[in-house]
Structure 1
Amino acid sequence: MATDSQVWFITGASSGFGRHMTELVLKKGHKAAATLRKPEVVADLAAQYGSDRVLVLKLDVSSAHEIKEAFGAAVDHFGRIDVVFSNAGHKVEHAPEDMAREMFETNFWGSVNVAKETLRVFRDVNKTAGGHLLQVSSSSAIQGFPAFGFYSATKHGVIEALAGELDPGWNVKITLIEPGAFRTGAVSTNLPSVPLQGPYAKPNSMPAVVRSIINEENFKQLPHPTHAVAAMYKLTTIPDPPLHLPLGQQGIDIVKRKLTSMLAETDKFASWSDGMGVDEVQF
């Protein structure tokens, strides 16, 4: 994609990756539709850059109706959308079912509906078809971890499948960004909010061990999200961006361990599939 002035549509612009990406995009001279649940949080950016550069929109990505309205408002305001940074997310583990379902509404269905509307705008609305969807996923979508089960499930699979359905003539690119842990609110606040129950409440249970690692001191040792955002932005400046981008040393290590383990197990039991042709199986 060209590095000339672009129009970005950013979800979750209030904090973390979303806020840092909005700031970076504007500093680079691009325009941004900054979407979030509480527009007043980015009032400073609106005042600094003016309405010709930044459009602040209220958006709860769990609402498909609000997604369509926000995309429509961005197109009406800027004329097109070149890059979508789909970043809004929610994380609560070992929660009552209603809270877990709320997480799926935001992380899974929110991402799906943003991606569907992104594709429609890129393909059918932009006068010159095309665009780049940057979907912030997680390294825990590659490797499911104790205490992250629901979150891992919400981040896995569906956008990758969508990427395989695209017609090359649409000129649409998709990159799944799979970061390890960075110094964002998603790591520091959300996970420990619900007490562990039953056998998981034991100090030596794996969910409890994982939670014990998430503390203020360890949080301070994580890389700053601006480093991740700079790498994410760079994806839009190269002609052939990857479908997957593990990010941060932790994210890279997770992917390598997962692939190594899966390959070893596959090789170990590959012979069990010998002779599995179309012949009738005899039990």
Structure 2
Amino acid sequence: MSTPRVWLITGTSSGFGLEMTRCALARGDKVVATLRKPAVLADLAAKHPPSQLLVIKLDVTNPQEIKDAFQQAKAAFGRVDVVFNNAGFIVAGETEAVPEDAARKMFDTNFWGAARVSQEAVRFFRDENSPQGGHLIQTSSSAVFSDWPLMGFYKASKSALEAITDTLSKEVSPAWHIKFTSVEPGAFYTEFINNANLIDQPSAYADPSYPTSSMRQMYKYPETVPLELNDTAKGVQKVFELSRLASPPPRLPLGRDAVKFMSDAAAAHAKVVEEYSSWSEDLAIKK
């Protein structure tokens, strides 16, 4: 593991993407940092030689730019070992009030963009890496296990990404040596939350005692979140450790809040199965 690995990271302008870029570089790996506005990383790029850091313009909603980014990575470093599929954003609001165009725009990045990066990553790991192999790490969210108000469409976008990742991981041949992990962060204090697109509240939900009103207060004042906020730099250190595992888990809850969300969800599902499994015992067609 002494040979530097090559990372391709999407969404490196801030938050997890930026911290993961810094972490991988500090550990001696090489990074292809992609983002829509490369000028944002000018200061970071000035501190690292082109032999270690390549900054590329990439809008993950543009399929050709995805393919170009992988080819530029190959031209610069010869291979890609880890893809940290991180680009995404939040559209938050009461489900009935979120405009379809806003939700679709989020899905174009969080799901379709991430799915296309995933497709190209698998193809690249198999067809262009020599030897074959690589690790696709998806930035998902602990929202897939929680039912926080305002997060319906965001949760749906991340749940869809996890679903397609699960299926993709079962479709590839073990001979290709491709690994998959969906990382599910809890509440991390990053620009990601601060830059969320919060849809105007409809009047029917304006009562301050309603769940969505309380959640809106947390968006406006993150310091009031009734959970411990996690440190992003420490979080990506754990993701880096994950990338070193020979057999990484398919899912990694990140943060004690995320662990609780997953644990509670698993217990709730187990309870339903225990209580209602008998309802399915006599449904089979008799032969």
Match in the other structure for 2:204: 199
Instruction: Tell me if 1:166 matches 2:172.
Output: yes
Are the counterparts in 1 of residues 141 and 185 from structure 2 also a CA contact under 8 Å? Answer: yes
Q: How many residues align?
A: 278
- Of 90, 108, 112, which residue of structure 1 is paired with 2:111? 108
CA contact (8 A) 2:45 2:53 kept: yes
Alignment pair present for 1:148 and 2:151: yes
**Residue aligning to 2:122:** 119
Q: What is the TM-score normalised by the length of structure 1?
A: 0.94
Q: Is the 8 A contact 1:175 1:245 kept in 2?
A: yes
Contact in 1 for aligned 2:89/2:110 (Cα 8 Å): yes
C-alpha deviation, 1:32, in angstroms: 0.5
State the alpha-carbon separation in 1 of the partners of residues 56 and 205 from structure 2: 41
Q: 1:28-57 deviations in whole A, cap 9, x for unaligned?
A: 111100000110111112111111111100
Instruction: Pick which of 247-256 and 37-46 moved more.
Output: 37-46
- State the Cα deviation string for residues 151-191 of structure 1 (Å, max 9, x = none): 01111111122111121000000111011110111223315
What SS does structure 2 have at the residue aligned with 1:49? coil
User: 2:187, 2:228 within 8 Å by CA — same for their partners in 1?
Assistant: no
Shift of 1:100: 0.7
> How big is the shift at 1:240?
1.0
CA RMSD of aligned residues (A): 1.6
Pair 139,221 (structure 1): closer, same or farther in 2 beyond 3 Å: closer
- Once the 2 structures are TM-superposed, how far is the Cα of residue 239 of structure 1 from its aligned partner? 1.1
Partner-residue secondary structure (3-state), 2:92: coil
Match of 1:187 among 193, 200, 204: 193
3-state SS of the aligned residue for 2:47? helix
Provide Cα deviations, 1:95-132, integer angstroms capped at 9, x if missing partner.
31111100000000011001001001100011210000
- Pairwise CA distance, 1:209: 2.1
Alpha-carbon separation, structure 1, partners of 2:286 and 2:222: 59
Deviation at 1:3, TM superposition (A): 5.1
Residue 164 to residue 143, structure 1, CA distance change in 2 (3 Å): farther
2:268 alignment partner in structure 1: 261
| Aligned match of 1:87 | 86
- How far apart, CA to CA, are the structure 1 residues paired with 2:27 and 2:144? 31
Whether the 8 Å CA contact 2:90–2:192 is kept in 1: the answer is yes
Shift of 1:247: 0.7
* Equivalence for 2:239: 232
Is 1:138 matched with 2:141? Answer: yes
* More moved, 203-212 vs 241-250: 203-212
Tell me what 1:175 maps to. Answer: 181
The runs of at least 4 consecutive aligned structure 1 residues that moved more than 4 Å come to none
Task: Give me the identity figure in percent.
Answer: 40
Deviation at 1:141, TM superposition (A): 1.6
- For 1:38 and 1:105, the matched residues in 2 are separated by 18
Q: Which residue of 1 aligns with 2:99?
A: 96
The one-letter code of the counterpart of 2:182 is: L
1:271 aligns to 2:278 (yes or no): yes
* 2:253 is equivalent to residue 250 of structure 1: no
Q: Which amino acid aligns with 2:108?
A: E
5+ residue gaps, structure 2: none
* 2-structure distance, mates of 1:259, 1:100: 28
Residue 208 of structure 1 is matched in structure 2 by: 213
8 A Cα contact 1:87 1:136, kept in partner: yes
Q: Distance in 2 between matches of 1:216 and 1:180?
A: 14
For 2:207, give the aligned amino acid.
K
SS at match of 1:155: helix
Structure 1, residues 2-36: CA drift from partner, whole Å, max 9, x if none?
A: 35300100001110000000001111111100000
User: C-alpha distance in 1, partners of 2:209/2:134?
Assistant: 48
